[in-house]
Amino acid sequence: MNWRRRRQLGQLLRFSLLGVVLIVFIFPFYWMLRTSILPTQMIYESTALIPQGFTLEHYGRVIDQGFLTPVRNSLITAVGTTILTTVVSLFAAFSILRYRYPGRRRAAQLVLLTYMFPHVALIIPMYMLAASLGLLESPITLIVVHTMLALPFCVWILQSFLMDIPRELEEAALVEGASEVGAFLRITVPQAKPGIIAAGTFAYIMSWGEYMFAYVLLTDSDAFTVPVALESLLSGYVIEWGILAAASVLATLPVLALFWLMAKYLGEGIAKGTGVV
């Protein structure tokens, strides 16, 4: 049957292409992983796909060199950013959708404005501001900056999730005697859970990987976050790729923890935001 053969060929093509796509996306990381467990000698000699040797010395040295400190710093910053961003953007999205007050439109536009901004323009003024407040090495500065960076996106996502929650659900709670705050906490928030997760994971991943502001605002190497620490490894005279690979793997692990959540909720979150889903 011509029709059936065509289907089969189609499927074959489809899965082949998918295979190629998978390789393209995953291979680089596989290579880094492989490099990180290869003895130094072999790193520079072999380009075999399957690692011919195994060692954990690179990881050992990376940790000895104090790499866990930036990891801890990044974790603090990322978690702080996630919490702050999620709460602030949830409030803002809810406010814009459910209330009417003068300046509401302006507020919504201001949030969007943040998005189109060349943030690179802010690094020096931000540095000077933080310096004058004595907050240069504190994670607070970076948390606030990261929140600013994540806000427009998170407000946008949450707005579209909140829009899907029928007002009647909240009204029913009001009629049953809940206060406005009560209705918000008991009804709106649980209903908006997917949106909150989408926004939260975005904030976390963005904060973890943010390099520019972190580089400028953290000058003391004890306060470095992971991207900054990685870059400092890169800019030495001699680049030790084994260590770099191990550090890269370590840098990625905390992000992978939320990976699955992100895949599940973020795509849908953005699609909702474009007003379609």
Chain residues 54-83 in contact with another protein, contact rule CB under 8 A = none
For another protein, the binding residues in 193-232 under the rule CB under 8 A are 193, 205, 208-212, 216, 226-228, 230-231
For another protein, the binding residues in 235-274 under the rule CB under 8 A are 241, 244-245, 248, 251-252, 255-256, 258-260, 262-264, 266-268, 270-274
For another protein, the binding residues in 84-113 under the rule CB under 8 A are 84, 87-89, 91-92, 94-101, 103-105, 107-112
Nearer to another protein, 59 or 94 (CB): 94
For another protein, the binding residues in 14-33 under the rule CB under 8 A are 14, 17-18, 21-22, 24-26, 28-29, 31-32
Verify binding: residue 122, another protein, rule CB under 8 A. Answer: yes
Which one of residues 9, 12, 131, 172 is an interface residue with another protein (CB under 8 A)?
Answer: 172
Q: Do residues 243 and 62 touch, judged by C-beta distance below 8 A?
A: yes
C-alpha neighbours within 13 Å on the C-beta side of residue 61: 16
CB atoms within 10 A of CB 156: 21
- Quote the tokens at residue 266: 């973020």
Residue reference for tokens 């520019």: 212
Rounded alpha-carbon distances, angstroms, from residue 221 to 93, 218, 230 = 37, 7, 12
Which one of residues 38, 62, 187, 217 is an interface residue with another protein (CB under 8 A)?
Answer: 187
Which one of residues 9, 131, 185, 277 is an interface residue with another protein (CB under 8 A)?
Answer: 277
Rounded Cα–Cα distance for residues 115 and 151 (Å): 9
Rounded Cα–Cα distance for residues 96 and 264 (Å): 26
Q: Do residues 89 and 158 touch, judged by C-beta distance below 8 A?
A: yes
Nearer to another protein, 121 or 238 (CB): 121
